[in-house]
Amino acid sequence: MTNSRTIEARELAQQALLCNDVATKCEMARHLTDDVPVNLSVALDEPDPLPAAPGRPNKPVLVAPSELKHRSVSTEHGRAVLLHALAHIEFNAINLALDIVWRFADMPEPFYRDWLKVAREEAYHFGLLQTRLESLGHEYGDFPAHNGLWEMATKTSSDLLARLALVPRTLEARGLDASPAIRSKLAQAGDHDSAATLDIILRDEIGHVAIGNYWYRFVCEQRGLDPVETYDSLAMTYNAPRLRGPFNLQARRQAGFDDIELARLQDRV
């Protein structure tokens, strides 16, 4: 007999994933607390097919990355464009955490607890960035954005190991590398509140990537696979973006990358 407690947690995550309203989605994510019951390793029926896109508002308009224009953060408009891009990343990160909870069954209870925590924190980050945008006279949706994070979610929808390897350990880990330079630019422009917001986000994102690393290695061990060699194979199979330096080695170490992985990362540059 299937236990309804795990179904409840995963169905709540799916409802939040499909919600189109930004404020409601964030509120739903924040309510996926440790009080939401999750059972141990209950295999459920297959989830619904991955939607072409998660629930999202009509704006921002999604365009190819090459169509996005870079603006100088020395201007208020440029800072708004940058903060909007960061908010869009966090919005996608909410959806990614919600989807991994819903999509992949038969994992230990801490797996679901970890990703529910990530969804809550990503919603918190989005709110921080939305506040900064509002201080500049803008809101989420005012500028175009791209859909790269969700495209990788679509590619990896049928394999948890690929999802863990190529979303938290690749795309989200890139944020650890980019954060110091972005923070420095904002601080130099005199936007210390936004710089402080990035400090909070980096602190939490180290934890999120660490969660991805932990469960990636867990699934590798389950399948009898070498984590380093398997990562290289998955990156090639799914055409993962090539990672370019400089790398935030301190943050990556805190997030659980070992010396072998960091050495290979730098060798590819």
On whether residue 46 sits in a domain, the answer given is no
- The reported pLDDT for the residue numbered 45 is 47
Q: Is residue 75 part of a domain?
A: yes
Residues with Cβ within 8 Å of residue 80, at least 6 apart in sequence: 133, 136, 137, 138, 142, 143
pLDDT in tens, 107-163: 998 999 899 999 999 999 999 999 999 999 999 999 999 988 888 999 999 999 999
Q: Look at 42-51, 147-156, 184-193 and tell me which has the smallest mean pLDDT.
A: 42-51
Average pLDDT over residues 201-207: 98
pLDDT in tens, 48-93: 555 556 889 999 998 888 888 888 898 999 999 999 999 999 999 9
Do the domain assignments include residue 189?
A: yes
Answer yes or no: is 256 within a domain.
yes
Specify the pLDDT at position 66: 80
Tokens at residue 202, please? 């980096």
CA distance 111 to 39: 11
Do the Cβ atoms of 164 and 212 come closer than 8 Å? yes
Residues 65, 48: Cα–Cα separation, whole Å: 29
CB 121 within 8 A of CB 179: no
Closest Cα to residue 203, out of 171, 170, 180, 169? 180
Rounded mean pLDDT, 37-53: 52
For residue 144, which phi and psi values (nearest 5 degrees)?
Answer: -70, 165
Q: What are phi and psi of 145, to 5 degrees?
A: -150, 170
Distance CA 26, CA 108 (A): 25
User: Based on the structure, what is the number of domains in the chain?
Assistant: 1
Q: Looking at residue 236, which CATH number applies to its domain? A: 1.20.1260.10
Q: Which domain holds residue 260?
A: 4-32+54-267
> What is the predicted pLDDT for the residue at 32?
86
pLDDT at 9: 78
How far is it, in rounded angstroms, from Cα 220 to Cα 31?
31
